[in-house]
Structure 1
C-alpha cells in the first residue's frame, strides 16, 4: 500500500478492494469478468465495483474496461444505449504449440503462436427422454459414450455440477419428512466421504440417522446428486479412470487449489469433477469433453437473475473444452432443453440470450428496465421479524400515497427464499421503479433494517 502511494508501482492487480489502492495517477481500470456477483460488496458499506470504477474514472479522467464473454444485462443495456462503447471479440483466441498437446506434454516444443478458434459444439440431451428410455443414471447415454471415447483417446474430461455433496436432501419414504438444519431450517445434504449430513448455509454437521426422527421408520433415502456422487459414479463406470474433485469441500486446506490444478494440468487425473470453481479462467489444453451433469441447477430459483446466471455459468464452463488443436465437445444434460438460457448457451450466442431475457424482464419491469432496492430485516425471533416487516410496509405504503409516487411498486413483505440462516429469520421488502430511492430520501428507517441498492439477487 505504501509503495503504491509512493508511486513505485505501475500496475495493481487485485479483487474489488484494489480499487481503493492510492495510485497517484490512474489511467486505466480493468474489471475482468465484470458480470461476476463477487464485485458486489454484500456487507456495509455496500457497493458494486463497476460503479466505483466508473466514478473513480470520471474523477481522474481514466479509462474503464469492463471485460466479459457474458456481460451483465445492465452493461449490455448501457452499451446498446450508447452509454458505453462496445468492443466485440467474435472468435476465441487460442495460444498453443503447433503440435498436439499430448506430444507437448512429453517434451515436444512448438511455437507460441495464437490462432482463432470456433467454440466447441454443444449437444443438448433431454433427460426426460433418457428416463422414458429406462435410463435412471445421472449420466445420459450420450455423456457416458463421450466419456468412454475421451478416456480411450488419452484425453481429459471435465464434469460440472454446481452442487456439492453426494445427495441434495434426505427424506423418509414413509412419512415424507425431510431432514433439515435446526439452525437454518434448510434441507441437509448428505456427504458420503464423512457419512454425515451438512448444512451448506451454516456448515453445521449432523450424524446420519438410522431411522426417521418423525415416524421412526428406517426407510430413509438420499435423493438428488452432488459432486461427490458424480465422482463415485465415474469410478464405478470407469474403474481405471483417475478422478479429481474440485469443490469447496476438497479445497479447504491451504494451497489445495494450486495442488489440484497442477495435478490435472500434469495429467495425473483423467476426469475433473467440480462446481463453479472449475468453470472460469482455466486453460486446460488436453480437455476435449465438458459434461454439464445438470444444466438446470440454478435455472428455477425464484430470482429474476436465475436465467442470466445459468447462461453465464454454462457459457463459461463450455469454454473449457477445445482450447487447443484437439477438437472439443460439450454436453448439456437438462430437463428444460428449450429454455432460452440453455439454447443460447449451446449456440454460444450471447445476443440471442440478451434479446430474449430483456423481453422477459420487460414484462415485469425488472432491471435493467428499472431499479431495485431491497430492504432486509434479520432477527432471532420469527414473530418479531414478521411484525417489523408489516409495520414498515404500512409506513412505506402511506409514504407512497403522500408523495404520489405511483411509479414505485412495493413488493412484500415476505420471508426470503432462504428464510433462516444460523438461527436468524429473514424477511424482505422490495422497492421497484425508475427512482425507488426517492421513497427513502429524508426518511429514517427503523433500527435493524438493511438497505441494498441494486441487489444481485432476491434470495
Structure 2
C-alpha cells in the first residue's frame, strides 16, 4: 500500500471499504473480548483466517493481530479498518484456534494471552509510523527551508535533518496539532519524505556470504581458468593462492562459503575484494538455517525385550480404540525405547509426533538418543532458543517436520498432521505453567489436543501422578506396565540413614552422616560416580542473629534471603532482590550472626573438604544458565569428567548415566514437611526418581536417604519400591479430605500493594462467591508467603465436583465477581489471578 493511501485511510476512518466485510482480530493483549475491524476493498483478496493483519488500537497503538473470523455482519459500533495484511498464508491453523478456545474457557484466560504465549516473538510485530527524509533529499539551511515551505512543513524537515526519523505522534506533539495527516500527505506528495514501514518484522533470516567464479569463468573449463590467472597477473602471488584455494574447495563441495575461503587461503576481506573488482569472483548470499543438523549416521532399531515388545503391542491395541494410554514403568525399564518404536510406527505413516518433556535439562540426552535413531528428522523447541530460531522451528512444523521434542510450550506449535503425543515424566509439576497466563497444565492440555487432531496420546512415568493413575483405575485411560528393569537388573538398594541416631553416635560431619561419607569414598574408589540431591539452591537459606533471632528478609517479599557464597551476597529467590551481608543485626546491633541450613552451594563447598581429590560440580539454576548450560554439564558428567554431581530436582528427571553407583538424598525431611496437600506425592516421586539414577547399566545401585523422620510412611514405601501401597493410601486420604483427583480446585489470588484494600477486595469476593457457591468456597486466607514483589496476597480456594456443569457454573460466577470488582472504587490497583487446577 502506498504511503498516501495509508494516510487517506487514517483520515477517512475506513472509507475505502466496500461490500461490508469485517474481521474479528486476536491481539496479543489480555483483553476480555475480540475487536472487530472493517476490511478495505483492496485487501479482501489477501484475507484468510489465521493470517496476521496490522491494526490500530487506541490513538497510537499499532499491533499485528490474527484474523480469527471473517463476516459480513456489521457490528453495532463504528469500526476502524485494518491497515495491511502481513502474510500470504495463515501462520495459525484451525486446530490451534480450537485449542486456544478450549484453553481460554477451561483456564479462564483470554485469547490474546494465548496468542502472546504461542507465537514466537519474531512473529509478533510492534511499532508506530515513522517518517524519514526521502533517499535523494539534500539537506538545506534553516532560512532556505522557510522560504520554500510553509512554516509547519519547514519545521518538520528541519527536525528530520537533526533526528533522522519522527513518528506521527512526535510531529503531533511538536506542532501541537490535533491532526497532522494533511501536512504529512503534503510532504509525501512533494517527495521530501518517505514513510517507514509501520510494523517491522523482528525475525531476520540468517544470511551467509558465498563465493563463486564470476562469468565467463568456469571451474571445469581449463581455458577459462587459465584466462582468470592471466587477468590476476603473475606477480599477485596471494591472489593466485586464493584462486587455487577456491579451486580446491570447489572440487570438495558444490558451493564455497566465504569464511571457508578465508580460512583455506589465509586472506582477509580486502584481498577478496580485489578479486571481485577484477571480475574473478562474485559474492552472493544464501539463507542459512539456525537449526542444528545431525551429521552422524542414523542407527537401526534396537531389539526390544519381551516385556517391552508386549508393552509396545498393547499400546497400539489401545490406540486403535482411541484411548489415552498410561505407561507405568519402573525406573530403568526402557520406556524410552518403547517410545522410539511407537514414533517409528507413526512417522512411517507420514504423521507428526510430539514428544513432551518437563525440563530443558532432559533434552540433551534424549535428543542424542533420538538422533541416533531418526537422524535429522527431529527438531527441539524450548524457551532457551532465540526469537529467530523459534520462528524457523514454527515454520518447519508447519511444513511437516516429523518429530518435535520440547517442553510444554511445544504444544502450541502449528502441527499439520499430528498422529502421536508422548508425555514423558507425565507426573512432573513443571508441566504446569504458573505465571504469566495462560496457567495451563501441558499434560492435561495434551489430552484435549490429541482429541482435536484425532491423534493418540501416551503418558509415561515411573511414578505416575495420582490424577492419571485414578483415570487408569476408572478405565478412562488404558494402563500398560513395565515392572522390571531392562536387562534384568535389580532396582537400587535403598537405605534410610537416621540422622538422629548418627548425631547420638557422634558420626555427623557437618551436613554429612559418617555413613554417607564412607559410601562416597567407596564409590569413588570403585571408579564410579555419585549424585547428591538437595532441593534447595544457594549456600544457606537463613542468615540469623544469635542474640535476638532476627533474620535477613527481602524488602519486597515476606521471605528470608538466601546466602550465595560465590557472589558473597544475600538473594531473594522470588523477586531477585540482593543485598550485601550485614555486619551487625539490624534489630539489636549484635555482631553474632550465623548461617542456618544448607543448599547445593554449601554441599559442594563442604564436601570438597572431605573429598579433596574428587571432581565436584553443581547442577542448579545458578550453574546452568544460558542456552547450552544444561547440555554441557550433562555431557561432562556422562563422559566421566565429574565424580560427584550435586543438584536440585534437575538431577531427578529421567537422566540416564552408565556409571552412577551411588545416589544420596541429603534432607528428606524438608520435602515431607512442605505445607501442601501434594507434599507426600511430590516427596515419593522425587525420591523414587532420583534413586532411579543409580545402577542403570552395570550392577545394582545404592541409594542413601538422610532423614530425622526415619520411620515416616513415605520413606518406608520408597524403601520398598512400593508404588501400589503409596497410591492406595494417598488416594484414600485425598478422597476423605475432598482433594484431587476426586475434586477440582480453583485458586483465586488477590494482589494489591495496600493491605487494607486487599482485605476489602478479598472479603467482598469471598462473600459474593459464597452466596452463590456455598461452602465450596474456602477463605480468604493468607498464603504461607503473604507478600511477593511488593504485592500483599490473599487466597480463595474453591472445591468443586468433577462434573463439567458445576465447573462451568463456578467459572461464570468467578467472571461475574471479576467484572464487579473492576467497577468498585478504590480498587484500581487490584490484580485477580485465577488458577484452575493449581499446584
Displacement after TM superposition at 1:50 (Å):
2.4
Once residues 625 and 445 of structure 2 are traced to their aligned partners in structure 1, the CA distance between those partners, rounded to angstroms, is 32
Q: CA deviation at 1:254?
A: 4.4
Equivalent residue, structure 2, for 1:455: 838
Q: Aligned partners of 2:444, 2:718: CA distance in 1, in Å? A: 27
Is the contact between residue 167 and residue 225 of structure 1 (CA under 8 Å) also seen in structure 2? yes
For the residue of structure 1 that corresponds to 2:404, the secondary structure is coil
Report whether the alignment pairs 1:208 with 2:208: no
Cα deviation for residue 437 of structure 1 reads 4.9
1:328 and 2:720 matched: no
Contact 2:539 2:602 in 1 (8 A): yes
Corresponding position of 2:783 = 416
The structure with the largest alpha-carbon Rg is 2
Deviations 1:178-216 (A, max 9, x none): 110111120111112222111111122111111100000
1:269 has 2:642 as partner: yes
Match of 2:503 among 131, 137, 149: 131
1:406-442 per-position Cα deviation (integer Å, ceiling 9, x unaligned)? xx52221111122121111111100113145533425
Q: Which residue of 1 aligns with 2:800?
A: 433
Structure 2 CA distance, aligned partners of 1:41 and 1:249? 21
Structure 1 residue 338 displacement after superposition:
2.5
1:151 equivalent to 2:524? Answer yes
Aligned length: 428
Greater percentage in helix: 2
1:340, 1:356 within 8 Å by CA — same for their partners in 2?
A: no
Q: How far has the Cα of 1:326 moved from its partner?
A: 3.2
Q: Which residue of 2 aligns with 1:101?
A: none
Deviations 1:315-339 (A, max 9, x none): 1111111011133100001122232
Partner of 1:26: 418
Corresponding position of 2:43: none
**1:429–1:342 CA distance, 2 compared to 1 (3 A):** same
Partner of 1:121: 493
**Please, what TM-score do these two structures have when normalized by structure 2?**
0.50
Structure 1 unaligned runs (5+)? 94-114
Q: Does 1:359 align with 2:722?
A: no
Q: Residue by residue, what CA displacement relative to the aligned partner does 1:345-378 show, whole Å, maximum 9, x if unpaired? A: 2222222211121122223111111111101111
Name the structure, 1 or 2, with higher relative contact order (CA <8 Å, separation 6+). 1
2:765 and 2:744 map into 1 onto residues whose CA distance is 20
For residue 259 of structure 1, report the CA deviation from its aligned partner: 2.0
State the distance in 2 between where 1:377 and 1:268 align: 49
Q: Secondary structure at the match of 1:355?
A: helix
Deviations 1:223-279 (A, max 9, x none): 001111111221111111111111111122442222222222222221111111111
- Please say if residues 425 and 654 of structure 2, whose CA atoms lie closer than 8 Å, have aligned partners that are also in contact: no
Q: Give the Cα separation in 2 of the matches to 1:325 and 1:339.
A: 31
User: Following the alignment from structure 2 to structure 1, what is the Cα–Cα distance between the partners of residues 635 and 404?
Assistant: 26
Shift of 1:340: 2.8
Is the Cα contact below 8 Å between 2:494 and 2:705 reproduced in 1?
Answer: yes
| Conserved? CA contact 1:373–1:436, under 8 Å | no
Name the counterpart of 2:673. Answer: 300
Quote the Cα distance in structure 2 between the aligned partners of 1:327 and 1:40.
Answer: 34
Alignment match, 2:445 = 52
Structure 2: gaps spanning 5 or more residues: 1-393, 823-830
| Candidates 3, 19, 37, aligned match of 2:429 | 37
CA contact 1:210–1:218 (8 Å) conserved in 2: yes
Shift of 1:86: 0.3
Measured after TM superposition, the shift of residue 388 of structure 1 is: 1.0
Between the aligned partners of 1:361 and 1:339, the Cα distance in structure 2 is 18
> Alpha carbons of 1:354 and 1:254: their partners in 2 closer, same or farther (altered >3 Å)?
same
- Choose 47-56 or 150-159, whichever is displaced more: 47-56
The equivalent residue for 1:316 is 689
Once structures 1 and 2 are overlaid, which stretch shifts more, 213-222 or 436-445? 436-445
Counterpart contact for 1:373–1:437, Cα < 8 Å: no
So what's the TM-score if we normalise by structure 1? 0.89
What is residue 98 of structure 1 aligned with on the other side?
none
Residue of structure 1 in register with 2:16 after alignment = none
Say what the alpha-carbon RMSD is for the aligned residues: 1.7
User: 1:441 is paired with a residue of what secondary structure?
Assistant: helix
Aligned 8 A contact 1:287 1:322 in 2: yes
How far does the alpha carbon of each residue in 1:48-81 deviate from its partner, in whole angstroms, 9 at most, with x for none? 2222222222233221101111111000001001
Structure-1 separation of matches of 2:712 and 2:809: 37
Q: Are the structure 2 counterparts of residues 174 and 437 from structure 1 closer, same or farther at C-alpha, using a change threshold of 3 Å?
A: farther
Q: Tell me, yes or no, if structure 1 residue 71 matches structure 2 residue 464.
A: yes
